[in-house]
């Protein structure tokens, strides 16, 4: 029995569609079908009920899926133990550099199993898809992430600041109470630009925008810079270096925060997941 066949079976079981599984694996659909058929012959059971309209796991397929994932995780653990002591680690992140990211990269390079991090700037949705497809080893996500076909580990908590124009009344204050900000001035990026963070911001604020979302973050910051009553909440780490001169950021009083998560494949060995989380933890 080959690990490749188990990997193909797990992919089909997750997608419940041979075409999508083949696209994820970057092979032709017929090759996936052949691998599944060979695996079924070796095991002597039918793993999938398939027709022109649907693909479903059989009871035996559900049991084999659990064992296949465990086997693939064990194989990955063996590769980690025997592999290159400075293996490349592909990390999906937002384009802004932060102190937390810089510190984590040092920790990963200097750990017991040193890794050479390679940063990949991707939108949030693409980051999660890349982890799911195996194009990334882990992704960093701020906000709530529902665990589906990936492992989600809450790793840090980050304060939120209000970003305002330099001529905003609160621009030079040491902190600002939410009640002191004009609720009609709240600006948020569109939800599809970063769904977990968007939802987390709305959960932290006992209010909602009075106007439609303003496109991506660049559009929001442009609007805030032009309107002395406008403001937007943002995670604090990296703001000082990322904001243009026309904007300021001010802590909330009382403090508001958002959680950060490390997202990995379900097949990532537990020691690796723990080391990734420790690198990015507070």
Read off the pLDDT of residues 63-99 as tens digits, 9 standing for 90 and up. 999 888 888 877 766 665 555 555 788 999 886 667 8
Pick the CATH number of 158-256 from 3.40.190.290, 1.10.150.20, 3.30.2130.10, 3.30.930.10: 3.40.190.290
User: So what's the pLDDT on residue 52?
Assistant: 67
Lowest mean pLDDT among 15-29, 47-61, 65-79, 98-112: 65-79
Lowest mean pLDDT among 196-200, 227-231, 244-248, 267-271: 267-271
Token digits of residue 254: 């009382």
CATH top-level class of 3-82: mainly alpha
Q: Express each pLDDT in 145-193 by its tens digit.
A: 876 678 899 999 999 999 999 999 999 999 999 999 999 999 998 888 8
CATH 1.10.10.10 residue ranges for the chain: 3-82
CATH 3.40.190.290 residue ranges for the chain: 158-256
User: So what's the pLDDT on residue 123?
Assistant: 82
Average pLDDT for the chain: 86
Strands 138-142 and 87-93: parallel
Nearest CA-CA partner of 126 in 137, 117, 139, 142: 139
N-term to C-term CA, the chain? 43
Highest mean pLDDT pick, 15-29, 187-201, 251-265: 251-265
Of the pLDDT bands very low, low, confident and very high (cuts 50, 70, 90), residue 110 is: confident
Residue 253 has pLDDT above 90, yes or no: yes
Find the mean pLDDT for residues 26-35: 85
Residue 211 has pLDDT above 90, yes or no: no
User: So what's the pLDDT on residue 128?
Assistant: 85
Residue 216 has pLDDT above 70, yes or no: yes
Bigger pLDDT: 63 vs 26: 63
CATH top-level class of 87-155+259-280: alpha beta
User: So what's the pLDDT on residue 270?
Assistant: 84
CA angle, 210 then 234 then 199, to 5°? 60
Q: Express each pLDDT in 113-151 by its tens digit.
A: 677 888 888 888 888 888 887 788 999 999 888 766 788
Nearest CA-CA partner of 142 in 234, 207, 212, 254: 234
Find the mean pLDDT for residues 228-256: 90
Token digits of residue 54: 């649907």
Torsional class of 4: left (φ above 0), alpha (ψ -120 to 50), beta (otherwise): alpha
């Amino acid at each position: 029995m080959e690990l490749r066949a188990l990997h193909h079976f797990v992919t089909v079981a997750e997608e419940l569609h041979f075409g999508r599984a083949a696209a994820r694996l970057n092979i032709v659909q017929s090759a996936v079908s052949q691998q599944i058929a060979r695996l079924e012959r070796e095991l002597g059971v039918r793993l999938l009920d398939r027709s022109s309209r649907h693909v479903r796991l059989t009871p035996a397929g559900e049991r084999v899926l659990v064992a296949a994932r465990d086997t693939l995780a064990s194989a990955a653990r063996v590769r980690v133990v025997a592999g290159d002591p400075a293996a490349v680690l592909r990390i999906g992140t937002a384009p802004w550099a932060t102190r937390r990211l810089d510190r984590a990269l040092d920790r990963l390079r200097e750990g017991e199993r040193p890794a050479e991090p390679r940063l990949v700037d991707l939108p949030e949705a693409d980051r999660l898809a890349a982890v799911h497809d195996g194009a990334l080893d882990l992704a960093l996500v701020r906000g709530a992430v529902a665990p589906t076909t990936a492992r989600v580990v809450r790793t840090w908590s980050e304060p939120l600041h209000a970003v305002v124009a330099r001529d905003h009344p609160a621009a030079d204050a040491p902190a600002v109470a939410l009640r002191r900000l004009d609720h009609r001035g709240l600006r948020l990026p569109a939800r599809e630009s970063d769904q977990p963070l968007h939802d987390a911001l709305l959960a932290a604020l006992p209010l909602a925008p009075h106007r439609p979302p303003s496109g991506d973050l660049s559009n929001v910051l442009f609007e805030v810079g032009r309107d002395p009553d406008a403001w937007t909440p943002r995670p604090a780490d990296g703001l000082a270096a990322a904001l243009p001169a026309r904007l300021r950021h001010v802590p909330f009083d009382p403090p508001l925060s958002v959680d950060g998560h490390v997202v990995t494949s379900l097949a990532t060995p537990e020691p690796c997941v723990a080391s990734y989380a420790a690198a990015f933890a507070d």
